[in-house]
Chain A
Amino acid sequence: NAGVTQTPKFQVLKTGQSMTLQCAQDMNHEYMSWYRQDPGMGLRLIHYSVGAGITDQGEVPNGYNVSRSTTEDFPLRLLSAAPSQTSVYFCASRRTSGSSTDTQYFGPGTRLTVL
């Protein structure tokens, strides 16, 4: 298993540009989520999904869109990038059909800089 993969690893954008951060998992996990991590801070939840076709907002959803058309993929879209979105983005997944305490698996992160 590759686990949770994220692309790209690094990205530099100009203010106002749009882009999509990719996240994929090969563990057939129902739940997937996106977090952002600013320097010296813990992770904050942006959006999450409990299955294909179902998404919901987390703690800091403004400026981001998501969709979940397949179990494997959960892309995060920045429609008009702003410097405040400079951060490290982590994708995570877990089963929902197993034990209630199944753990979450995190990807390696995407480091985004918005100029």
Chain B
Amino acid sequence: GQQLNQSPQSMFIQEGEDVSMNCTSSSIFNTWLWYKQDPGEGPVLLIALYKAGELTSNGRLTAQFGITRKDSFLNISASIPSDVGIYFCAGRAGGTSYGKLTFGQGTILTVHP
């Protein structure tokens, strides 16, 4: 199926550093979502974006919905060890929450104390 291009695939950083990851698509999306998945668990929603240009924060996390509606980024500031996990972007083309999500390949984040 269709996938978003998410980068980087993996990141190894020191505690306290900032992190940035992004997703791009050839298709327009009406909603961008960012999820975090811990090993053996389901994804947990971090931030949801519903309007082009929207910039939303959730604690140390900030995400933006690109103006072209074909991209989004997620920033994590002052990383801590519990930020370790896999981060996925997801886009939805439809206008309702019943629409299918298209997922990026994921970014594996490792934080060294």
The reply to whether chain A is a binding partner of chain B is: no
Interface residues of A, Cβ cutoff 8 Å to B: none
On B, residues with C-beta under 8 Å from A are none
